[in-house]
Amino acid sequence: MYQLNEILENKVINKLILGFERSPDQLNKPHESDAEIIQLNDNIKLAITTDSISEEISTGLYDDPYLIGWMIVMVNMSDLAAVGATPIGILISEIIPKTFSEEKIKELQKGISDACKAYDTFVLGGDTNEGGILILTGTAIGIIKNEKPLTRLGCKPGDIIYSSGKLGSGNAYAISKLISQTNSFSGYKPSAQIKNCKIISNYASCCMDTSDGLISTLDQLMRLNNVGFELVEDWEKIIDGNSLQYAENNHIPPWLLFAGQHGEFELIFTIPQDLKDSFLEEALLTGFEPIVLGIVIPDSKVKIYLYGKMIPIDTAFIRNLPAETKGDINHYLKLLLEYDSGLKNTPSLNFTTH
Amino acid sequence: MYQLNEILENKVINKLILGFERSPDQLNKPHESDAEIIQLNDNIKLAITTDSISEEISTGLYDDPYLIGWMIVMVNMSDLAAVGATPIGILISEIIPKTFSEEKIKELQKGISDACKAYDTFVLGGDTNEGGILILTGTAIGIIKNEKPLTRLGCKPGDIIYSSGKLGSGNAYAISKLISQTNSFSGYKPSAQIKNCKIISNYASCCMDTSDGLISTLDQLMRLNNVGFELVEDWEKIIDGNSLQYAENNHIPPWLLFAGQHGEFELIFTIPQDLKDSFLEEALLTGFEPIVLGIVIPDSKVKIYLYGKMIPIDTAFIRNLPAETKGDINHYLKLLLEYDSGLKNTPSLNFTTH
């Protein structure tokens, strides 16, 4: 676990679960999939996942009750999508402050209800408590119909990396909410890839959502699969228009929209070269247009073409930075910008042939 | 829903779920069972439940990390037991304060691990966040093998009410932690009835755990089934020895150990008269000794034999009192003691014949 433990978040998790026995019916090991995968009987595999929204509220990142309601369903559905599961439903535990108005509660519940409708799923139950600040915990369950469940494991050098959609809105939104002296960024309302995940799970060699941003996702896939990723030269095309404009207006290097750790909940997945044509054919039939990000390489590095050269990014530094800067968001951004400046002086690397 | 809505907690829940659509695969309606029951396919029913531990920590009721870890598994397993489910596992979301020591985290995780071993189950996954105070949310899933799942619905007048074990320790413990000038009460470590629930689910007409104390449980069953309950004359035998002694030492009328809303997680269930013998026979074979509490009556009242007469208890008053007294625990106890004094002057009632 040396490689995984280089990332503080992985280390914390590994420490917490150290004394726990694993279920003999669980098909994934820790870190290996976005949702837990349980073999229920010969024919049925369950996917189950839990996610809380608390730090996002306490830091002020989420302050709109409707968005919070939407997100508690969406983040959990996104984990189900990443293992190719069809949702059965969600349970939601709500800790609500006394001071939270009736109007806000209505908005919160409307967000939950709308998200359930969007994913054709249902609130099955929940729990309610009073507390100092609003905290929501969702637990979603689904069924996996594929023989071989989709996990974070399985990509090989040569596979093509795709994103289910354009990236950057999660971090553009986070900058606008958390960094003073930036303009507002509107329209952050991510969608879980419940619909497209069916096709993806038929072809992909591995999959993970960008809940923590693209670089965290690639870094984790790199550590788990012992491979690397090289992003295509014209990676600016991967960023959605509003977010790119927003970064430019606020003098933020666009690639930092991949580095921040508030994601857009797209699926990052890899397709073996020989399956590419049939995958794209089936995808296009449903109107799904996946975006090529780059290629899987043997060398365990994440490389981006920046400032006229292919640069290996210090993804461990980027992933550990929020913990290292202890929640001081301005200091965090300052160090990221310094890292970016440093890259301009990095010697160039040869391209991997592909 | 008039009858259910008389209880503030039910009213809050009904308001929260007002705009939510129900899953066509869900076999229970709101309030009707301790865990949600989902028809997965022709052969399989899933039970799923979520419970947070937050107010218990913020009020100081739980301050031992080991107990908190034990409880987050146990409370969720108890809900599975109440629907006769066999556990598959649990997911736990932990919000941990920065100030929480390594030592305390170890104790917390040990409590979780020990409880999982006790119920032959597993932590399947989880989520970790930093926050102001410790909050745990567990979500347990299980499988229901019975054709007809056990719920809170189905008891009829004449059925016998049982408890899976002696009662009172939850409230004796709560008094010791929350009321100043009381002595300490040790040994509160409740067990979920995962083992005994198999036999119970083969015979019982309804079932619910005492997570909120006996009177809350009987009140909710009364409202759902449109029946009442009459507790046996020698109900003091229902209270476990330590708790009875504790109440007497602290000058608290023993029946108030049923009224407080911190339970002991026994199962309260009803058995039709004609199944009683076979139920007891099967129970005794496994060493399970259920305790008779009383009988189901047609009149929608909870009656206890107190101060030489059979008294209908104002269970709505008792259930709503924590909310009415807004967390002022000394005021809460004062009003309960005043209510008890009032009962001494209540005119006597005729016994229901049985």
pLDDT 10s digits, A258-299: 999 999 999 999 999 999 999 999 999 999 999 999 999 999
Size of interface A-B (CB pairs under 8 A): 178
CB within 8 Å of A254: residues ≥ 6 apart? A168, A236, A239, A244, A247, A248
Top residue of A123, A130, A212, A262 to mutate, by most chain B CBs within 10 Å, is A123
Q: Of the ranges A60-69, B127-136, B173-182, which one carries the lowest mean pLDDT score?
A: B173-182
Closest CA to A53 of A83, A78, A32, A33: A78
Residue B93, chain A, CB below 8 Å: the answer is yes
Contact B191, B211 (CB under 8 A): no
**CA dihedral of residues B267, B271, B277, B278 (deg, nearest 10):** -80
Distance of residue A292 Cα from the nearest chain B Cα, in angstroms = 31
Q: Which residue has the tokens 């093998």?
A: B145
Q: How far is Cα A206 from Cα A218, in angstroms, rounded to an integer?
A: 11
pLDDT > 90 fraction of chain B, expressed in percent and rounded:
90
Backbone angles phi, psi at B91, to 5 degrees: -110, 140
Q: Which residue has the tokens 């100030």?
A: B99
Closest CA to B305 of B351, B257, B248, B252: B351
pLDDT at B235 over 90: no
- For the A160-343 domain, the top CATH level (class) is alpha beta
pLDDT > 70 fraction of chain B, expressed in percent and rounded:
97
Q: How far is Cα A128 from Cα B17, in angstroms, rounded to an integer?
A: 11
CB within 8 Å of B136: residues ≥ 6 apart? B52, B53, B54, B68, B69, B72, B92, B93, B94, B95
pTM passes above 0.80: yes
| B52·A16 Cβ contact <8 A | no
Contact B225, B302 (CB under 8 A): no
Q: Is A162 exposed, middle or buried, given 0-12, 13-18 or 19+ CB atoms closer than 10 A?
A: buried
What is the 3-class SS of chain A, one letter each residue? CHHHHCCHHHHHHHHHCCCCCCCCCECCCCCCCCCEEEECCCCCEEEEEEEEECHHHHCCCCCCHHHHHHHHHHHHHHHHHHCCEEEEEEEEEEEECCCCCHHHHHHHHHHHHHHHHHCCCCEEEEEEEECCCCEEEEEEEEEECCCCCCCCCCCCCCCEEEECCCECHHHHHHHHHHCCCCCCCCCCCCCCCCCCHHHHHHHCCEEEECCCCHHHHHHHHHHHHCCEEEECCCHHHHECHHHHHHHHHCCCCCCHHHHCCCCCCCEEEEECHHHHHHHHHHHHHCCCCCEEEEEEECCCCEEEEECCEEEEECHHHHHHHHHHCCCCHHHHHHHHHHHHHHHCCCCCECCCCC
Distance of residue B6 Cα from the nearest chain A Cα, in angstroms = 18
Backbone angles phi, psi at A26, to 5 degrees: -90, 125
Q: In this predicted structure, what is the pLDDT of residue B1?
A: 42
| A54·B131 Cβ contact <8 A | yes
Helix (H, G, I), strand (E, B) or coil at B162: strand
pLDDT at A2 over 90: no
pLDDT at B2 over 60: no
Q: How far is Cα A40 from Cα A196, in angstroms, rounded to an integer?
A: 25
Q: In this predicted structure, what is the pLDDT of residue B39?
A: 97
End-to-end CA distance of chain B: 30
Q: For the domain B20-144, what is the CATH code?
A: 3.30.1330.10
pLDDT at B297 over 70: yes
pLDDT class of B354 with cuts at 50, 70, 90: very low
pLDDT at A6 over 90: yes
pLDDT class of A121 with cuts at 50, 70, 90: very high
Helix (H, G, I), strand (E, B) or coil at B114: helix
Which of B8 and A348 is assigned the larger pLDDT?
B8
Q: Which residue of B has its CA nearest to A57?
A: B131
Q: Which residue has the tokens 């049923």?
A: B258
Q: In this predicted structure, what is the pLDDT of residue B182?
A: 79
CB within 8 Å of B244: residues ≥ 6 apart? B168, B236, B254, B257
Q: What angle do CA B193, B195, B201 make, to 5 degrees?
A: 80
Q: Which chain B residues in 8-27 lie under 8 Å from chain A, judged by CB atoms?
A: 12-13, 15-23, 25-26
| A49·B126 Cβ contact <8 A | no
Please name the member of A23, A35, A40 whose beta carbon is closest to the beta carbon of B122.
A23
pLDDT class of B327 with cuts at 50, 70, 90: confident
Question: Taking residues B85-92, what's their average pLDDT?
Answer: 98
**Contacts A141 to B, Cβ<8 Å:** 46, 48, 141
Residue B117, chain A, CB below 8 Å: the answer is yes
End-to-end CA distance of chain A: 30
Q: Give this complex's ipTM.
A: 0.95
Q: In this predicted structure, what is the pLDDT of residue B348?
A: 56
Residue B159, chain A, CB below 8 Å: the answer is no
pLDDT class of A209 with cuts at 50, 70, 90: very high
Closest CA to A131 of A99, A92, A91: A99
CATH homologous superfamily for A34-144?
PurM-like, N-terminal domain (3.30.1330.10)
Task: Parse chain B into domains and list their residue ranges.
Answer: 20-144, 160-343
pLDDT at A102 over 50: yes
**Amino acid letter, B297:** I
Closest CA to A20 of B127, B129, B72, B106: B106
Closest CA to A252 of A348, A188, A201, A179: A179
pLDDT at A172 over 90: yes
pLDDT at A30 over 50: yes
Q: In this predicted structure, what is the pLDDT of residue B349?
A: 53
Q: What is the mean pLDDT of chain A?
A: 94
Contact B314, B307 (CB under 8 A): no
**Amino acid letter, A180:** S
Q: How far is Cα A149 from Cα A206, in angstroms, rounded to an integer?
A: 10
Q: What is the mean pLDDT of chain B?
A: 94
Question: Taking residues A313-331, what's their average pLDDT?
Answer: 95
Domains B20-144 and B160-343 equal at CATH topology level: no
CA distances from A154 to A5, A32, A203, A303 (A): 20, 10, 12, 20
